[in-house]
Structure 1
Amino acid sequence: MADFGEILRSIGDFGLFQKLILLGLCFPNLILPFHLASLIFIQSDPERHCNTDWILRAGSNLSSEEQLNLTVPRQEDGTFSRCLMFTPVDWDIDIIREHGLNQTTDCQNGWVYNNIVYEATIVTDFDLVCGKANVVGLAQTVFMAGILLGSLLFGPFAESFGRQRATQIPMVIMLIFTVTTGLSPNFYLYMASQFLVGIAYGGFRINCIVLATEWVGVTKRSYASCLSQTFGGVGQCILAGMIFFIRDWRLAQFVMAVPIAVVAVYIWFIPESARWLLDQGKTEEAKKLILRVAAINKHTVPDTILEKVKCMI
């Protein structure tokens, strides 16, 4: 009985087929770091103050500076408070100017953001400031927890249902919930979407390497892991440029979804691991696949190898 290493040497253990499948499986790692863009957008905390447009009903001609002076208290360092405002009153503007306001309250009508590095962020869209500032760290934790869970779930999944399905399904999930993230109307749906993106992220990162290495000979197997990490590093560099040019977090999600959609299409044409098929006793499927790989690599499979494949259960 031939082991799979012998079969690989007969059909080419690092031929054109292996190089194509390695490129196809590693390319998504160029895109996966882009999901860290969400975390970068979350961490942006721009200058802000409470929205105090209520006072414009009393004096519509107030300048922005005068409006702030009348409605927002100052901190000890002389800057305007980022989380407090004077309690709205139903007074004439002249009375407010003469007596001033003393009672403070939390922001009641949202915030006004100034000196924003990005056009739109998770912080500004969902007002993750002041009393809600602690959920910024929670959002990052949820994404990382998804990666951990995906790594744990799709390992056994690959053993039961194959390496092919364990790479295809995560990419489809990632595509769906990357778009969903960009469309999220509230922070709760955003977190749920990012959790599912994290699951897909973790599941694909593990199984793309497994599927690639099972088609590569022992002497070249390290190339699969190294190339995967290299693509990830290059993706981090591209991410920096993307964040520089794309300042809207929702637009960034849709831009990320485009290459993921491309991967989600061609990933269905990447074949199953013949090693896994043989372990599952699916020798006929494995034999057809081995012959196809040999043809791509321009190798001829000896009849003795094919006979041994038929005997493998």
Structure 2
Amino acid sequence: MIDFGEILRHVGELGLFQKLLLLALSFPNMILSLNYGSLLFVESDPERHCNTDWILGAGPNLTEEEQLHLTVPREPDGSFSRCLMYAPVDWTLDSIRRYGLNHTTACRDGWVYDQTLYQATIVTDFDLVCDQANQEKIAQTVLMSGYLLGSLLFGYFAESIGRKRAIQIPTVLLMIFIVAAGFCPNYYLYIVTQFMSGVGMGGYRVNSIVLVTEWMGTAKRSLGLCVCQIFNSLGSMSLAGIMYLIRDWRQAQLAIATPMALAVIYIWFIPESAQWLLKQGKTEEVKKLILKAAAINKQTVPESLLDKISEKTIEEKGVMDLLIQSCILKYFVIITFIWFSINLAYLCVVFNISNLGLNIFLTQFMFGLSEMPAHILCIWLLEIRGRKVSLMATALLGGFFSFLVVMVPRDQALLVGVLVITGQFFLIWGMSICHIYIQELFPTSIRHTATGLSTLVVRLAGLLSPLLNLLAVYHWTIPIIVFSTLALGGGALTFMLPETRVVDPPDPLDQMEAMDQEGKQKSDDGSGEKTKT
């Protein structure tokens, strides 16, 4: 048997074959960001008033201002009520003007919405206002629940049906339910489409990264992960442009489905993971794929090397092996908590973007733009400063700038926006580091189990973030204090992790107990060479 890493060194660790595969699998990641559009680009409390056209039966020539003055009560600040109206009466217009209306009631015939910002959103189409105002957060939770289930199901299926099928099926699901959402006649069918879209998003996300990294050399995997994240940022930036040009969320759903249709077509031609095929004992298929990849990369693979290919025999360890090793368990709990806290802080802000007080299109664009240098710097600084220092700094700075928001008056929208975008820059940077760090902390035999369980816990952040934002009804600072404090705590805990920049990833479990000391000795060597022990 030969190690697959040696095969990749002959095929090319990042040749044209890997670049084309990376581009093909990264493009749908951009669409995943676009799919948040119908949830993010809505006013949580749009300008509106009750539909009081009943009075036009008594006075058909009333102006809009006169109609509101006669039929809608005013709030203490002088503005018209958004959720109350005067109860209809069977009086003449003169009687209404003379005696006035005093009995108020909830809106009976729907609302009239201001269309200055949007022509239609899920809020205005499904009347998610007043006593239904929190339904938007429920839709966000349902989407992230589907994301969690998709990650779990297709992560499991990828081991039995292969990485390729576990990517193709979620892609088709996404295409179907992105389009279906745009035709939903009511809110309940809409949240069903969101759940199924979430399943597709979670399934695609986890397996596309696995397939890309399994075709890359170990030294190039961090680059592959960062490129996938860059496409997410491009999606966030594109989302701002799409929603600026298309102010109707249903039309926007169909616009998002257009590039997805392209992905659905070419996704059937992507190659399977050679490493997965090797585990299945399909050596002949592995040889054909290796020769194809080498030909595209203009490399030659010796026949003697191909003859050594046999079924991979590395024994995969299970959950119990993760739990019984104290050192492994410590690293697992720490890196999972850090990743979870950073992701929670990031998503809480993303799902609350419409309430920052700034131009929503500009803010969304700046979010995506600020992520780009974070991913690019991640590739460069990880090799200069190492994983430990980089993760500690990004988590602490992300939590710090997020916490500063509570100290700024809410009417200072520009300053709040600057602090939020700065905090997001460091948080997204920290998430990119976590993706790479967790791959290097654990031995080969336990790496897949540890990464899968950690990713599952991190997905819970997406489920909890809309619910945490609901606590703002008690006080707007509560969600910010909670998620920024967790991010700061995660940054502090990074101190307990070892540096992995100049440490070879360990294979046997018994090496893990000695990894702390070994990591410190090797990280102290400024030349980057391993210290002899």
Q: TM-score range by the shorter chain?
A: over 0.9
Where does structure 2 lack aligned partners over 5 or more consecutive residues?
314-533
The residue that corresponds to 2:364 in the other structure is none
Structure 2 matches for 1:33-44, cutoff 5 A?
33-44=33-44
What do residues 242-297 of structure 1 show as CA deviations (whole Å, max 9, x unaligned)? 22222111111111101111011111100100110010111122122122112212
What is the identity, as a one-letter code, of the residue corresponding to 2:275? R
What is the identity, as a one-letter code, of the residue corresponding to 2:187? F
Q: Could you say which structure has the greater relative contact order, defined with CA pairs below 8 angstroms and 6 or more residues apart?
A: 1
What do residues 91-138 of structure 1 show as CA deviations (whole Å, max 9, x unaligned)? 222221211111111111100112531111111111111111121111
Instruction: From the superposition, tell whether residues 279 and 272 of structure 1 become closer, same or farther in structure 2 (CA, over 3 Å).
Output: same
Where does structure 1 lack aligned partners over 5 or more consecutive residues?
none
Relative to the length of structure 1, the TM-score reads 0.96
2:84 matches 1:84: yes
The residue that corresponds to 1:102 in the other structure is 102
What is the identity, as a one-letter code, of the residue corresponding to 2:20? L
What do residues 74-102 of structure 1 show as CA deviations (whole Å, max 9, x unaligned)? 12122111111111111222221211111
The answer as to whether partners of 1:31 and 1:260 remain within 8 angstroms in 2 is yes
The residue that corresponds to 1:226 in the other structure is 226
The residue that corresponds to 2:309 in the other structure is 309
What SS does structure 1 have at the residue aligned with 2:182?
helix
The residue that corresponds to 1:215 in the other structure is 215
The residue that corresponds to 1:6 in the other structure is 6
Q: CA deviation at 1:190?
A: 0.8
What do residues 145-198 of structure 1 show as CA deviations (whole Å, max 9, x unaligned)? 221221122111111111101111111100000001111111111111011111
Q: CA deviation at 1:301?
A: 2.0
What do residues 39-90 of structure 1 show as CA deviations (whole Å, max 9, x unaligned)? 2223443211110111111111111111111111112122111111111111
The residue that corresponds to 1:112 in the other structure is 112
> Structure 1: how far apart are the matches of 2:88 and 2:30?
52
The residue that corresponds to 1:205 in the other structure is 205
Q: CA deviation at 1:309?
A: 2.1
> Structure 2: how far apart are the matches of 1:219 and 1:47?
53
What do residues 184-236 of structure 1 show as CA deviations (whole Å, max 9, x unaligned)? 11111111101111111111111111001111111212111011111112221
> Structure 2: how far apart are the matches of 1:136 and 1:179?
19
The answer as to whether partners of 2:34 and 2:239 remain within 8 angstroms in 1 is yes
The answer as to whether partners of 2:7 and 2:305 remain within 8 angstroms in 1 is yes
Instruction: From the superposition, tell whether residues 112 and 301 of structure 1 become closer, same or farther in structure 2 (CA, over 3 Å).
Output: same
The residue that corresponds to 2:143 in the other structure is 143
The residue that corresponds to 1:122 in the other structure is 122
Q: CA deviation at 1:10?
A: 2.1
Q: CA deviation at 1:312?
A: 6.0
Relative to the length of structure 2, the TM-score reads 0.57
Instruction: From the superposition, tell whether residues 42 and 195 of structure 1 become closer, same or farther in structure 2 (CA, over 3 Å).
Output: farther
For the aligned residue pairs, the C-alpha RMSD in angstroms reads: 1.5
2:272 matches 1:275: no
The residue that corresponds to 2:179 in the other structure is 179
- The percent identity for this pair of structures is 62
The answer as to whether partners of 1:37 and 1:243 remain within 8 angstroms in 2 is yes
> Structure 2: how far apart are the matches of 1:65 and 1:310?
81
Larger radius of gyration: 1
